[in-house]
Amino acid sequence: MSNNDTLEKKILDLEKRVSKIEKLIKKISGGNLSNNKALGAFETKLAEKLDDIGTQELVIICLKLKQKQSKSQLQDTIKNWGKPSSSWFKSNNFKARLKDKGFIMKDGKNENDEDVFSLTQVKGVKTANELFEKYELS
């Protein structure tokens, strides 16, 4: 495979990731993506940095964007962003690395009677802000 083929493949992969992120952000923003340039900038930056961001950090970023999400919603969002994470969620990582460490907390139930989670007011929000700064997402 030539360098041009490799570069074209990487570009196509990034375009697919950006497209998935745009669809997700459009869904979250109620279809008003064209009027929200900040979200467009965010998704572009996220696509550029996605390979460098761990699943645990992506969960925190997801909850900064939208509080009160279930584990399945978080997993779907991360999958839509183009990051494989199903094995991370199937193991005890969610509870052990996020909930038990005080980054997130249970915050009620959704319409499907699933537990929903939010960032904790101090540690979770502080960490989310630090991640946005670290990966230059704001």
Please state which of the four CATH numbers 3.30.70.100, 3.20.20.80, 3.30.930.10, 1.10.10.10 is assigned to the domain occupying 3-134: 1.10.10.10
Residue type, position 132, single letter = F
Beta-strand ranges (E) seen in the chain are 69-70, 104-109, 115-119
Residues 103-129: pLDDT tens digits?
999 999 999 999 999 999 999 999 999
10 vs 1, which has greater pLDDT? Answer: 10
The pLDDT tens digits of the residues spanning 59-73 come to 999 999 999 999 999
Task: Return the pLDDT at 35.
Answer: 45
Q: If you write DSSP's letter for every residue of 4-33 in order, what string do you get?
A: HHHHHHHHHHHHHHHHHHHHHHHHHTTT-G
Amino acid symbol at 86: S
CA distance 118 to 72: 14
The residues near 50 (Cβ < 8 Å, ≥ 6 apart) are 17, 81, 82, 83
Summarised one tens digit per residue, pLDDT across range 74-110 is 999 999 888 888 899 988 999 999 999 999 999 999 9
| Domain range list for the chain | 3-134
Q: What is the pLDDT of residues 22-74, one digit of tens each?
A: 776 666 555 554 545 555 778 888 888 998 999 999 999 999 999 999 999 99
Determine the Cα–Cα distance for residues 50 and 97; give it in Å rounded to an integer: 20
